[in-house]
Amino acid sequence: MALWFTSPQLGNRRDIQITNFQTNQKYTEYTIDICLDDIRWQVKKRYSEFADFHEELIKHIPTIDVKSLPPKKLLNNNSPDFIHRRRLALDNYLKYLFQFFTINSLQLPECFVNFLDFHLYEVHGIVRKLAEELFLNGDKILSAPGKKPFSISPLQMHAITRRIKLAEPPCDSNDPAKDLSHILDFLCHVKYVQIIGSPDNFGTSTIKTQFLSFDVSFFKSVEELILDCVQTSQITGIDNLKKTVRHLSIHRSLTSIREIALSSLTEIPPSSNEWLISTWKFVTHLDLSKNSLHSLDESLKLFCKTESLDLSYNLLETSIDHLQHLHFLQNLNLSNNRLHDVSDFNARVGNIRSLDLSFNELITTDGLSRLYSLITLNLTSNKLDSIKNIESLGSLPCLENLWLKNNPLTRIVDYRIRVFAVFYNRAKDVWLDGQMPDQREIDRAAVISAMSRAKQNEAAQATMLVRKALSPTKPISLLSSSLLRQTSTNTINNIASSCPSNLSIIEKQPDVVLDTTGSNNTLPTEMTNTN
């Protein structure tokens, strides 16, 4: 990180030079390359900006040589030879200023900081600018209604962390508005914060904010924290957040949950309660979406009071473990992963009320049949291709909202009616793909449900006959197989004849997939007539 010391430091590198220029019909712009330590950035300035800067600099520091800046030239100032000579002269001027401030151990004046963008890339400049902003607007931000988070970059956090460790007074300029204390006081009281980095270079510099280290122990009252595109292993003071944070969101930063959950612990001790010290006991909303999680590790139990958990846009494929430790979990978002198996899902999660499994690779919902408290279920854009694959959902007594859009089964003739039939008498209470069923759908679903129940009763009676036939009290040798077949056939015929004729017609109708290229997607004539 770029840092300017008022006195020369061993190994501290300072360099400045004009590396290039661009000329048009009106003016010439010079490219200035600044290097502090291992950080470089560029600034582009015209000669007129040099002249204004030099005039202001002389006012603040009269001891600077007035003639150190090359003079103006009104005529023939666009010739290549003149521009080349001026570039060299301006380069020498900037080197002179760097040497002047270094030899005299002077603090950089404000005009110098702004002219060369030190307020964007150098520790002191960044801190001064932020301190002034918070001095002017800090109280307004803290008292603003709503929960709009205060946005601060990893670069600013890194600069504060570096600045506070320097053996320097909090106010290193003549302007009290730029006192470091303004920042520390604000961070101590702010409740909603987001720290957003970037994998790209910041501005014209070589700084990648994603990889900067910083300390978050300055936050004493934060309740909602958003970390986006930061390196969690470079963050210190995380344990202090566990005392206040209630909403925690981390994006584009994690490959495992333990990176943020454990912080000071390397692992959860298997035979002690030491991990309880590290619990995030106030976090009720945990958003870990848009990361690179392949699995859920045991450290998830440290978020023991979580009510809402967002794991969308990760790389989860098969194992969804350790969710059973979240006893207060009600809302779970697993959308946009690679899940293809939800078997025994009821044993992995508690009494959740909302479950989002959209944009995965599920082929069946059998593992969801015992989530009895589930109210909302989103299965949009999976690989469910048959009504049989969702029949288990009919056993969910509280389900009110079901989303099945963009699954292959939605191309089945009378898709909505067949889905409603799965819920029997509860069909009228279930909204499908955001729409409540109309009376026609309810009536026809009831017919299909009745036929399905009749078929189940028929199968049950046939099973009972077989069991009686094979009962030890009646030796099988005394009952001929032909009599068994005849009895079963007679029973089935009697049940079928007692059902309304339209049930038989509907029952014979298979899962027909709609021809999306044709224009006629209506029911066959004989099915329409039955209604």
Delimiting residues of CATH 3.30.1520.10 domain(s) in the chain: 4-115
Query: Using one digit for the tens of pLDDT, what is the confidence trace for 443-474?
Result: 998 888 888 777 777 777 778 878 777 776 54
Tracing tokens 């950080």 back to the chain, one arrives at 39
Is residue 219 within 8 Å of residue 187, measured between CB atoms?
yes
Q: Measure the CA–CA gap between 441 and 446, rounded to whole angstroms.
A: 8
Q: Measure the CA–CA gap between 455 and 450, rounded to whole angstroms.
A: 9
Question: What is the structure's pLDDT at 87?
Answer: 92
Q: Which residue has the higher pLDDT, 519 or 225?
A: 225
The pLDDT of 59-63, averaged and rounded, is: 90
Confidence of residue 276 (pLDDT cuts 50, 70, 90): low
Query: Using one digit for the tens of pLDDT, what is the confidence trace for 246-265?
Result: 999 999 999 999 999 886 55
Could you give the angle at which helices 123-143 and 180-189 cross, rounded to 10 degrees? 40
| Class in CATH terms, 339-460 | alpha beta
Instruction: Give the CA diameter of the chain.
Output: 126
Report the candidate in 244, 305, 527, 282 with the shortest Cα–Cα distance to residue 413: 527
Residue 321 CA, chain-centre distance (Å), reads 20
Q: Measure the CA–CA gap between 48 and 325, rounded to whole angstroms.
A: 66
Q: Measure the CA–CA gap between 358 and 340, rounded to whole angstroms.
A: 11
CATH 3.30.950.10 fits 4-115, yes or no: no
Q: Which residue has the higher pLDDT, 271 or 375?
A: 375
Q: Measure the CA–CA gap between 186 and 220, rounded to whole angstroms.
A: 10
Query: Using one digit for the tens of pLDDT, what is the confidence trace for 88-106?
Result: 999 999 999 988 988 887 7
Residue 138 has pLDDT above 70, yes or no: yes
Q: Measure the CA–CA gap between 379 and 432, rounded to whole angstroms.
A: 11
The pLDDT of 496-510, averaged and rounded, is: 45
Residue 1 has pLDDT above 60, yes or no: no
Question: What is the structure's pLDDT at 266?
Answer: 52
Q: Which residue has the higher pLDDT, 462 or 9?
A: 462
Q: Measure the CA–CA gap between 403 and 342, rounded to whole angstroms.
A: 17
Residue 509 CA, chain-centre distance (Å), reads 45
Question: What is the structure's pLDDT at 454?
Answer: 77
Query: Using one digit for the tens of pLDDT, what is the confidence trace for 64-96?
Result: 999 999 988 766 667 888 889 999 999 999 999
The pLDDT of 170-175, averaged and rounded, is: 82
Instruction: Round the average pLDDT of the chain to a whole number and report it.
Output: 84
Question: What is the structure's pLDDT at 484?
Answer: 43
Q: Measure the CA–CA gap between 458 and 106, rounded to whole angstroms.
A: 97
Delimiting residues of CATH 3.80.10.10 domain(s) in the chain: 339-460
Question: What is the structure's pLDDT at 318?
Answer: 77
Helix count (H) and strand count (E) of the chain? 14, 16
Residue 56 has pLDDT above 60, yes or no: yes
Residue 143 has pLDDT above 90, yes or no: yes
Question: What is the structure's pLDDT at 431?
Answer: 96
Confidence of residue 129 (pLDDT cuts 50, 70, 90): very high
Confidence of residue 365 (pLDDT cuts 50, 70, 90): very high
Residue 7 has pLDDT above 50, yes or no: yes
Question: What is the structure's pLDDT at 512?
Answer: 53
Alpha-carbon distances of 184 from 77, 161, 187, 193, 264, rounded to whole Å: 50, 11, 5, 14, 24
**Burial bucket for residue 383 (CB in 10 Å: 0-12, 13-18, 19+):** middle
Alpha-carbon distances of 358 from 190, 248, 334, 382, 403, rounded to whole Å: 36, 23, 7, 7, 9
